[in-house]
Structure 1
Amino acid sequence: MTTRNAVAQSSARTTKFGKKLTRHKQLHRMLTRKSGVTIAQLQKTFGWQAHTARAAISAQRKAGCVVDRLETDKGSVYRIVEAQSTQ
């Protein structure tokens, strides 16, 4: 289901060279922010259900990223603290 708001947001998610970011890259950027990201923010941004957002975070872990979870009054905040380097 695509809404006008989602279409407007997706067109705004481009790099300075006009290349569209994938959801995987958008998620990685959100997780590497200093403030991290909540499940509710992922749901709003991507239109995902809570279990889908948690599965996407799990996929980042499987890809070698160390994801930290901090419990706050607004819910769990997830943040990548270390990414495994590829050699």
Structure 2
Amino acid sequence: MSIITFQPGSILFAEQLNAAFEQVYSNAVNAVNQSLAANASCQSTAQRPLPTYIGQPCLDLQLGYVVYARQLNPPIWQNAEGVYPL
């Protein structure tokens, strides 16, 4: 990580500050997207993982949409409209 130095009050300061915020925001969004992709993909209905929390998303490629854990044990999944079991 590098330290960014600015000259307050200059146009360059505003541009540097904006660039720094864009980099931090971009890194955060990428981290969230990678986490969601790793945790949400299920391949098929039969290959869904055991949910670890209520509301856990799972992209069911067989159904073609995201389902959410409604219950942990036994696992029950629902779609975004609350329809279950799936």
What TM-score results when the alignment is normalised by the length of structure 2?
A: 0.22
Write 1 or 2 for the structure with the bigger share of strand.
Answer: 1
Higher relative contact order (CA 8 A, sep 6+): 1
What TM-score results when the alignment is normalised by the length of structure 1?
A: 0.22
- In our comparison, the structure showing a higher alpha carbon Rg is 2
